[in-house]
Amino acid sequence: MTSAAAANRELDVVIVGAGFAGLYMLHRAHELGLQAEAIERGDGVGGTWYWNRYPGARCDVPSMEYSFGFDHDLEQEWEWTEKYATQSEILSYIEHIADRFNLRDDVTLSTTVESCRFDESSGRWSVATSDGIDRCARFVVMATGCLSAANVPDIEGRDGFGGRTFHTGRWPHEGVDFSGRRVAVIGTGSSAVQSIPFIAAEADRLTVFQRTATWAVPAHNEPLDPAVVAEIKADYAAWRETARDSSSAFGGYYPRREVSALDADDAELAGQFDERWEVGGLSFLRAYNDLLLDEQANATAADYIRSKIAELVHDPGTAALLSPDTIVGCKRLCVDTDYYATYNRPNVRLIDVSSDPVERIDATGIVVDGVVHAVDDIVFATGFDAMTGALDRIAIEGRGGRSLRDAWSAGPLTYLGLQIAGFPNLFTITGPGSPSVLTNMIASIEQHVEWIIDAIETLDAGGMSTIEASDEAQAQWVGHVNEVANHTVFHGCSSWYLGANVPGKPRVFMPLPGFPEYRAVCDEVVADGYRGFVRT
């Protein structure tokens, strides 16, 4: 869209973000005949897959599942090449969506949303953006992503470093050549686990700074077998529906076995875990139905993975350092290709910063316990201010000028992860309090967008103008999310699900485990006349 065309535009919907969520929202808004515009800070569409271009970046959900199911022709025609798609293939898919559904004319790129303010007298939102053009809309939909606000730790001396620095979530488009360089990677989450083997293969030396050892299972990525693809596509809708009935909204290949690990003897455990290890991927945690519910059950998986690390890593000291003593899956389980074996390379070194943290960065390198580790490049694989970070960076004001930052100062509060009391007509796609990051995000995005579109359509059909979560419904929902989370192992570590990775962020478990139960509640709320929402 040209700036002139957008000038002071009156819209039905402003959508913030043009990743999977923003684009699907825009498509459905078009279908409903709404005037909609998606505003995107990147200079291309794609969201997560636009920004995370680090070497080795792939999705950890299989490509046949990590794709839209709303359009029969689209899912039949699109051909994924590998079991786990690369970042570039996913980005091509998203660009294809933008073209196929004629979305680009209503996407404004390279523009940051700075504030959204609700005007009670007109019942409309004013949206201020970095291009200086004011938009006014009935609805605002936050499609800002759960992992989009990069977290670069505020380490003393960081800005005085003499070499190059990168964050995995803001990787240069032209790529980075590490040949002949001494490289540091800080962090050992998914982004590090995926990029470390590639960086190690190219760099002269790689030093990894590990604060918490991570759990990783092999991807066993491979080209997709055309026969398997044809079989899935023959009844794709049913296959996706089965997946949506599972807790994480995916798992079409290897569903969860409804058996407790605590009822299995050692031989059975070893056999099951061997099988899942060979299959690869997140299906490992579906070997038994209580691995994420019971710490004792979880310990069986932990013992198994530790034994694998001991086999894969030759140096016993390094293997010990890489072996976590935490709950498997409490932080998102990593899916790797050659991660552990990379530590057998002579040019790779692991530095434990669990008890002696990175002290500071000086012009030449990273200082730990008084020792300078000299490097040419630093890669921050340090994750994101997850789930709330992108919203927090926008000045959002609802009724009475109340800011979202204030409303969420003790942690995010939502009703169904879709709306926030005091912020009428503002929706969050995959917001805190919804299953979001614990699921196949595409399934969650489709469900949220469709719910929001229905809500708007019903509002219009009923001659109403606003929809807003009530305080009571929101308070009850927040209590429910906490109660569900308390029955899982997710409270047992300092994860980004809890906000624990960002200093000063309130510790609140943000996503809701259990997609099918959640979806059922969303449907019931609608059937019950939008129970818990005030509509005027």
| Binding of ligand NA7 by 256 (CB under 6 A) | no
Q: SS3 of 124, please?
A: strand
Q: Nearer to ligand NA7 by C-beta: 261 or 366? A: 366
- Applying CB under 6 A, which of residues 247, 382, 425, 440 lies at the interface with ligand NA7? 382
CB of 383 to ligand NA7, least distance (A): 2
Query: Could you tell me which stretch among 101-109, 186-194, 264-272, 510-518 binds ligand NA7 (CB under 6 A)?
Result: 186-194
Candidates 15, 327, 381, 404: give the one binding ligand NA7 (CB under 6 A): 381
Closest residue by Cα to residue 434 from 409, 407, 415? 415
Looking at the DSSP assignment, which residues form a beta bridge with residue 290? none
Considering beta carbons, is residue 113 or 358 the nearer one to ligand NA7?
Answer: 358
Q: Which of 81, 108, 102, 101 is nearest to 15 (CA)?
A: 108
Confirm or reject binding of residue 84 to ligand NA7 (CB under 6 A): no
Please count the CA atoms within 13 angstroms of the CA of 19 that sit on its side-chain side: 24
Q: Which residues contact 280 (CB under 8 A, 6 or more apart)?
A: 217, 218, 219, 220, 221, 335
Q: Tokens in use for 423?
A: 């912020």
Q: Read off φ and ψ for residue 251, nearest 5 degrees.
A: 125, 25
Say whether residue 441 binds ligand NA7 (CB under 6 A): no
Is there binding between residue 211 and ligand NA7 (CB under 6 A)? yes
Check residue 383 for interaction with ligand NA7 (CB under 6 A): yes
Smaller CB distance to ligand NA7: residue 383 or 532?
383
Q: Pinpoint the alpha helices (H) of 246-360.
A: 266-279, 295-312, 316-322, 339-342
Q: Judged by CB under 6 A, which of 45, 358, 387, 421 binds ligand NA7? A: 358
Query: What separation in angstroms does the CA of 147 have from each of 32, 55, 132, 157, 365?
Result: 29, 18, 26, 26, 28
3-state secondary structure of 37: strand
Question: Should residue 190 be labelled a site residue for ligand NA7 when binding is judged by CB under 6 A?
Answer: yes
Q: Please give the structure tokens belonging to residue 72.
A: 């029969």
Q: Which of 168, 272, 323, 447 binds ligand NA7 (CB under 6 A)?
A: 168
Total residues binding ligand NA7 (CB under 6 A): 22
Q: Site residues for ligand NA7, window 1-40 (CB under 6 A)?
A: none
The CB-nearest residue to ligand NA7 is 189
For residue 191, give both structure tokens.
């982004």
Q: Give the separation between CA 21 and CA 89, rounded to whole angstroms.
A: 18
Q: Which stretch binds ligand NA7 (CB under 6 A): 62-70, 183-191, 268-276, 406-414?
A: 183-191
Establish if 167 lies at the interface with ligand NA7 (CB under 6 A): no
Shortest reach from residue 122's CB to ligand NA7, in Å: 39
> Quick check: 147 binds ligand NA7 (CB under 6 A)?
yes
d(CA 203, CA 376): 10
Q: Which of 133/208 has CB closer to ligand NA7?
A: 208
What span, in angstroms and rounded, lies between the C-alpha atoms of 375 and 363? 9
Stretch that binds ligand NA7, among 115-123, 200-208, 350-358, 460-468 (CB under 6 A): 350-358
As measured in angstroms, the least distance from the Cβ of 282 to ligand NA7 is 10
Q: Which is nearer to ligand NA7, 496 or 518 (CB)?
A: 496
Q: Which of residues 490-529 bind ligand NA7 (CB under 6 A)?
A: 496, 501
The reply on whether position 480 binds ligand NA7 by CB under 6 A is: no
Among positions 153, 157, 255, 492, the unique one binding ligand NA7 when judged by CB under 6 A: 153
Smallest gap from Cβ 66 to ligand NA7, in A, equals 12
Q: Which of 304/384 has CB closer to ligand NA7? A: 384
Task: Please state, in angstroms and as integers, the Cα–Cα distance from residue 366 to each residue in 166, 184, 279, 341, following that order.
Answer: 14, 8, 39, 24
Cβ at position 516, least distance to ligand NA7 in Å: 21
CA angle (468 as vertex; 463, 472 as ends), nearest 5:
135
Which of 201, 279, 310, 353 binds ligand NA7 (CB under 6 A)? It is 353
DSSP state of 286: G
Write the DSSP assignment of 392-439 as a string of letters.
HTSEEE-GGG-BHHHHTTTS---BTTTB-TT-TTEEETT-TTSSGGGS
Cβ of residue 529: shortest distance to ligand NA7, in angstroms?
36
Among residues 158, 164, 332, 349, the one that binds ligand NA7 under rule CB under 6 A: 332
The closest alpha carbon to 385, from 76, 169, 157, belongs to 169
Closer of 80 and 380 to ligand NA7 (Cβ): 380
CB 107, min distance to ligand NA7, A: 24
Q: Which stretch binds ligand NA7 (CB under 6 A): 209-217, 256-264, 338-346, 420-428?
A: 209-217
Please select the residue that binds ligand NA7; options are 108, 111, 212, 434, rule is CB under 6 A: 212
Strand-pair partners of 184: 207, 378
- Dihedral sign computed on CA atoms, order 169, 326, 503, 115: positive
Q: Which residues contact 459 (CB under 8 A, 6 or more apart)?
A: 465, 466, 467, 535
Of 108, 111, 188, 207, the residue at the interface with ligand NA7 (CB under 6 A) is 188
Residues within the interface to ligand NA7 (CB under 6 A): 147, 153, 168, 186-192, 209, 211-212, 332, 353, 357-358, 381-383, 496, 501
